[in-house]
Structure 1
Amino acid sequence: MTDGSLDSDFPADDGDLDLTGRPPKDIPEPKPLISHGPAKVIAMCNQKGGVGKTTSTINLGAALAGYGRRVLLVDLDPQGALSAGLGIAHHELETTVHNLLVEPRVSVDDVLMRTRVEGLDLIPSNIDLSAAEIQLVNEVGREHSLARALHPVLDRYDYVLIDCQPSLGLLTVNALACSEGVVIPMECAFFSLRGLALLTDTVAKVRDRLNPKLAVSGIVITMFDARTLHAREVMARVIEVFGDQVFHTVITRTVRFPETSVAGSRSPPGHRSPRVPRRTSRWLAR
């Protein structure tokens, strides 16, 4: 491969197979858009933390913007990792997604921020959001609070990517209730399999009760180390159960990037950061 993705860091056992053990899937470059919107809303979701969800959200958003798509990132995690990863001093912000959800007078335009990436905007978050689930619990239609808040700007964007918190609480249900698709970053470890089953069950319940358009767009395997039998066995099991829902994209294990991502700083010169390779962004941008 020549796209700089981490799929090339570890060679596949068979020259005709990729890291998922399947023949590589070639996805053509997406065509330029004549106009923008309405946005496709995608929830980046896993109730387990530390699986590369936020890193995948940032890099997928940047990749889509690189293809000329207008992208809105929504930080729906009180930890504010998405905001910090984009270099925002989120702890200093007075108006965030929390205000958008619980204060009727706050509009989405009051919260929107531009990023340093052209075509990539952000609705930031900070620790204030941790109070939102309690504040929303008695609201009528509380599961659709985020959908109502985002609706006025959907025609401006091609994609909205929601970085969910690592839980299956009311905030995550809000994200699922307004999304068409769910992308699930999954750490390549056996204990992640049970969590994946629980998450897909939650997606099915939200689809049945709140949002009939919701579907799993795909599963991104992260923290994969092809040198270990454990990782290869987990990969095989996930593909056995979920089949074509597993993206051919594989994010391999690294250490330095998570350190710099949490700090909101750049990686050292010459160091390749893990990113969602272009095949995934091409697939979404079709």
Structure 2
Amino acid sequence: MIVAHGLSKQYGQVRAVDNLSFTVQPGVVTGFLGPNGAGKSTTMRLMLGLDRGQGNTKFNGRTYAELDDPARAVGVLLDAKAVHPGRTARSHLRMIAAGAGIPARRADEVLDMVGLGGAAKRRAGGFSLGMSQRLGLAAALLGNPPVLMLDEPANGLDPEGVRWLRDLLKSLAAEGRTIFVSSHLLNEMTHLADALIVIGGGRLIAAESLPEFVKRHARVQVVARADHPAALIDALMHAGYRSTPQPDGAVIVEGVDTDTVAAIASRARVYLRELSSVQTSLEEAFFAATSNAAQYRAN
């Protein structure tokens, strides 16, 4: 479990992180979301003690600085390119393992785990961004830690790699580990995350399950198909509801539930052939929740 309490960071007149507190539970993948400039990377650095600020973060009851064996307690991926370009993938991991008291053989185990077994002798300077991400993830997994903190781990991965990463993180969470993942790929987060921490302007916007977040911030649309769509639209208008006809003959209604639409259609003697509700996406929920906190907008 990760418990962050009162995290704050000031850069001159800019409050990058503002009294931020949240809990990341084990056994699920928790996504860390926010607009550009929201303070996600600064928050993660504060959590690990890499930046000075206020507040603290405890990993299963201890701050990162208090951990006796940090590599075996918290696996971290913040910058996939933070590797000496002249080192091979194997030598890079063996160097980390030696410093952490981890057997050298573990380097090859994690290289195989992330799909880089065949590139163990290649120099990191020649790696693509996707390969560098895999190497960074291998380093995070070296100590087989119960907690993983990953900043944008899907950057540079192709669709197959993104799916592989998703399956890996879900399997690690299923083992009871605490998985905390920052990402700007909202569509992928829909498939990956069970819970969300959402920030904007350095402040907490939401800390809840992904379905709860979407339900709270996204619109719910009712889709109706009637033998006489125009009659249904007219009945809805007289009842005070706006509706939008679709090219395929469906009628979209917002701000109302299916029972209400059914009752209006019944009173108007309009026969419904289909009636369902559809919730809009995580992307729409995210933009609705963070619209007032976005730092950079195009005109």
- Shorter-chain TM range is 0.3 to 0.5
Q: Which has the higher contact order (CA 8 A, sep 6+)?
A: 1
**TM-score, with structure 2 as normaliser:** 0.33
> Greater strand percent: which structure?
2
Rg bigger for which structure?
2
Give the TM-score normalised by structure 1.
0.35
